[in-house]
Amino acid sequence: MLQRCFHRATFVGVRLFTLLLLVAGSLWAQTGPATPNEDFDKPSKKSVVDFGLSPYNPPSQHIRKKLTCYYYSTFTVKEYDEGQEGAEWLSVVPSAHAACTRTHRKDERVYVYPEWSGYFWGAKGGVVLFGAPDGENGGVPFAAFDVRTGRKLFSDSSILEYYQQKLHIENAFRISSVADQVPRLAYFRVVAAGCDLRTAKADCWKRVRAKFGIAQTKTPVCIGYEKVEGNVESSLAYPVSVLLKDSPQLKAAIGPVFCWPVD
């Protein structure tokens, strides 16, 4: 659902280009933010309650309505999904022993559209991350929420798995803890360039670097333009890091930059 297909026509020098992408991915792993490649915190327990067949899908697909509860040391995350695009709701309960029910407690923080619609990605320390149900321009939006206050700390877009695989990017989204257990993200951010990096290379790249604070000087080689005619705005993926605390400051990191046409 999140992965979108683009034109895959071959072009001259594809083997050399693939080799360069592999080298670039290696460079990112070596020169990216100095953070351990840690996963999200592991929940102490996970419970799933089945509520029967989804009313939004044919019975033959066997898609169920279900409530999934993830238990951590000081809170519980609940995700209720009826089989539509994105969960019906997500919530955080300030208790490590909350009942896995669709009933909400008075102190339960519930997230629904338009505040957020998607799925639970994971938790780190006192922060939970929710991802969007679908991608846009080669990236998938996500948001980080403070467990204690329920407030959204940060939101952005990270590169889709489709492009991670196509461009041979490893460790494209990492989360770790730094001093005082503050979570730190290091990932490939996806943004719209505002111009076409294929037809207006030098001028477009100059504006992009200034706008996003990218240190790399060499213009990236875009993919996916083989059958595109005329000017089409580029999507840009570049490495960044951010501490998930009050007033997070996003910083561009040293590493490869990639581009392709927007959706």
Q: What is the pLDDT along the chain (263 residues), one digit of tens a residue?
A: 434 333 333 333 333 333 333 333 333 333 233 233 458 999 999 999 999 999 999 999 999 999 999 999 999 999 999 999 999 999 999 999 999 999 999 999 999 999 999 999 999 999 999 999 999 999 999 999 999 999 999 999 999 999 999 999 999 999 998 877 899 999 999 999 999 999 998 999 999 999 999 998 999 999 999 988 889 999 999 999 999 998 899 999 999 999 999 98
Return the pLDDT at 92: 98
Return the pLDDT at 12: 34
CA 105 to chain centre: 29
Return the pLDDT at 179: 75
Q: Whose CA is closest to 250, among 138, 95, 144?
A: 144
Name the residue ranges covered by the structural domains of the chain: 1-41+148-263, 42-124
What sign results for the dihedral spanned by CA atoms 160, 165, 167, 171?
positive
* Token reading at 91: 């919530």
Return the pLDDT at 29: 34
